[in-house]
């Protein structure tokens, strides 16, 4: 089951469309969830305080609109809706325990409040077992390419497997990016450094990872990309012509040392296409 969080915003609408399309490709049910954020209402009130009915009516309206959108885009979709109360990030994180995928918008209002890396994205991406897809409120043409960020650790393997799956489902090309930067000593005149050798080594690293992960997806065309650049910059550039950018949540080396570190934050803030964060 794919879960998508909604709040009535333009970004949430984009997330619903993305989730509906992916549910159709995977042939899995879609659950639309609206979480009424009770943290603001219960401040200074008794723990047993009840939300006004108008708040619940708004939540039901948001769910009806989201369901109607899915019915329009994917008439045969199996849909359920769910209205809940609590802190949105915590509720979605709990619900995602048994989900195939969790999808959220990048510029939510109300229940999915705040900026892209606000309470929901920062506390859900990488903290649940399933992939988390963050969708921006921007209409983009289909490019037919999925980009995945690789690094020098085994922690990137789940992200690569997910990227292969997405590329196959979409009939898209998979662009595997392993960005690299020269060590500081390489810039010293007395320390010779063979750039061609470095590039060859990086391409071989990509080939080894892709070969190991691609056995079940032989029909997916893979493009190797090993630019000499900061990893976040390389992935953001590659994502300009992509339908999806996939990154690992706990990679080391090129994809960063920690969840939402410099690379993850960079791509989530600046990549214009949807970004999938896959936990190692």
What pTM was estimated for this model as a whole? 0.85
Boundary (domain end) residue, out of 107, 135, 163: 135
| Average pLDDT, consecutive stretches of 10 residues, N- to C-terminus, the chain (280 residues) | 94 95 97 86 61 81 97 95 91 92 73 46 79 90 95 84 97 92 58 67 76 85 90 93 90 39 76 91
Q: Tokens 């992916």: give the residue.
A: 22
**What is the pLDDT, as a whole number, of residue 73?**
94
Q: Based on the structure, what is the number of domains in the chain?
A: 2
Cα separation values, 95 from 16, 30, 32, 99, 198, Å: 17, 13, 11, 7, 44
- Say yes or no: 131 and 149 in one domain: no
How is residue 177 written in tokens? 């990016």
- Say yes or no: 225 and 149 in one domain: yes
> Within a domain: residue 140?
no
**What is the pLDDT, as a whole number, of residue 197?**
73
**What is the pLDDT, as a whole number, of residue 176?**
93
> Within a domain: residue 167?
yes
Walk across the sheet containing 30-37 and list its strands.
79-86, 30-37, 2-5, 101-105, 132-135, 275-278, 244-248, 145-149, 173-177, 222-225
Q: What is the CATH number of the domain that holds 74?
A: 3.40.50.620
Q: Range of 159's domain?
A: 145-278
**CA-based nearest residue to 277, from 243, 250, 254, 256:** 250
- Say yes or no: 42 and 87 in one domain: yes
How is residue 78 written in tokens? 């199996």
């Amino acid at each position: 089951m794919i879960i998508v969080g909604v709040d009535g915003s333009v970004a949430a609408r984009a997330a619903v469309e993305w989730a509906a399309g992916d549910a159709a490709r995977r042939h899995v049910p879609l659950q639309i969830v609206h979480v009424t954020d009770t943290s603001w209402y219960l401040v200074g009130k008794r723990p047993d305080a009840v939300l006004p009915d108008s708040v619940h009516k708004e939540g039901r309206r948001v769910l009806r609109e989201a369901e109607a959108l899915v019915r329009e885009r994917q008439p045969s979709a199996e849909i359920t809706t769910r209205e809940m109360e609590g802190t949105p990030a915590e509720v979605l994180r709990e619900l995602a325990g048994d989900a195939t995928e969790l999808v959220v918008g990048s510029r939510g209002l109300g229940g999915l409040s705040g900026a892209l890396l606000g309470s929901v994205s920062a506390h859900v991406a990488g903290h649940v077992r399933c992939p988390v897809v963050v969708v921006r409120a921007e209409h983009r043409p289909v490019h037919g390419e999925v980009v995945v960020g690789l690094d020098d650790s085994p922690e990137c393997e789940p992200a690569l497997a997910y990227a292969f799956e997405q590329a196959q489902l979409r009939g898209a090309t998979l662009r595997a990016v392993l960005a690299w930067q020269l060590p500081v000593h390489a810039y010293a005149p007395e320390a010779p450094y063979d750039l061609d050798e470095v590039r060859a080594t990086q391409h071989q690293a990509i080939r080894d990872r892709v070969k190991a992960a691609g056995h079940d997806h032989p029909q997916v065309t893979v493009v190797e990309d090993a630019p000499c650049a900061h990893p976040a910059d390389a992935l953001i550039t590659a994502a300009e012509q992509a339908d999806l950018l996939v990154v690992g949540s706990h990679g080391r080396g090129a994809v960063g040392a920690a969840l939402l570190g410099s690379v993850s934050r960079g791509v989530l803030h600046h990549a214009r296409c949807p970004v999938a964060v896959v936990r190692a």
